[in-house]
Amino acid sequence: MPIHSTAIVDPRASIHPEADIGPYCILQGEVVIGARTRLMAHAFLEGPLTVGEDNTFFPYCSIGAAPQDMKYKGERSETRIGNGNRIREFVTIHRGTEGGGLVTSLGDGNLLLAYVHVAHDCALGSHNILSNGATLAGHVVVGDWVVLGGLSAVHQFCRVGSHSIVGGGSIVTQDVAPYSMTVAPREAKLFGVNKVGLQRRGFSGDAINALHRTFRLLGSKTLNTSQALEKIRAEVPQTAEVAEVIGFIERSTRGVIK
């Protein structure tokens, strides 16, 4: 497979003949690329970095750059990536520091979705899925077959045990037990009708008032959802907007925020 004519490859890099280096990729320093690994386009890889076989790097990822650690003084450190990993758009992985063993590492078969960040000195096992925007601070250890939900964040020095799943939006400040389902407290509340937005879009005062009454009943602490819907049907003018709210709630399979 070719090295595209627009790619910039450092003379110190070592690229397997079966690797594919796409347009506008930059390989800087001591970068080793294994067989059948593909850099699609606009990827930035900085060594010391060792990448195994059958990996795919999607556009605009940045792999092996210097850590975001104030203690880092330019000491030689590295990044190691195994086989069969998929690194999606805008993922950032930083190399290690002296305080963490000088290595950031990924095993095999991991999927890192867009905007994932893996900080210095992290050690990921194999077959993990890090969903969009998941963030690992420095020195985090992740086992095998872990799922980190989107926008979750793991505090430095924490461990995430194998076969666990962390719910999206969770802030993890202690170790996650193996085989567990873990989620941080999340509360979303209904605060009423979007009055200003509806006024700007020309909804009538009667329509807005009917919605206001609808949401007051829906948010009542003395009524469950079914009881609230009964009262809405009985006490609120059945405008098109109210009917849409009722139908939306009745079709819900996950419940509605109240």
Task: Render each residue's pLDDT in the chain as its tens digit; 258 residues.
Answer: 689 999 999 999 999 999 999 999 999 999 999 999 999 999 999 999 999 999 999 999 999 999 999 899 999 999 999 999 999 999 999 999 998 899 999 999 999 999 999 999 999 999 999 999 999 999 999 999 999 999 999 999 999 999 999 999 999 999 999 999 999 988 888 888 999 999 999 999 999 999 999 999 998 989 999 999 999 999 999 999 999 999 999 999 888 888
- Tell me, what's the pLDDT at 55? 98
- Tell me, what's the pLDDT at 80? 98
For residue 160, which amino acid is it?
Answer: V
Contacts 24+ apart (CB under 8 A), 126-129: 126/82
CA-angle at 81, arms to 80 and 82, nearest 5°: 125
CA-angle at 152, arms to 149 and 155, nearest 5°: 135
Instruction: Name the catalytic one among 52, 82, 84, 121.
Output: 121
Instruction: Name the catalytic one among 120, 125, 127, 133.
Output: 120
- Tell me, what's the pLDDT at 1? 60
Kindly report whether the peptide bond that precedes residue 178 is cis, defined as omega within 30 degrees of 0: no
**Is 120 a known active-site residue?**
yes
CA distance 14 to 3: 12
**Is 121 a known active-site residue?**
yes
CA distance 172 to 81: 24
- Tell me, what's the pLDDT at 33? 98
Instruction: Name the catalytic one among 22, 100, 125, 138.
Output: 138
- Tell me, what's the pLDDT at 258? 85
Domains of the chain: 8-182 (2.160.10.10), 195-250 (1.20.1180.10)
Which of 126, 81, 123, 68 minimizes the C-alpha distance to 101? 123
Which of 126, 93, 95, 90 minimizes the C-alpha distance to 111? 126
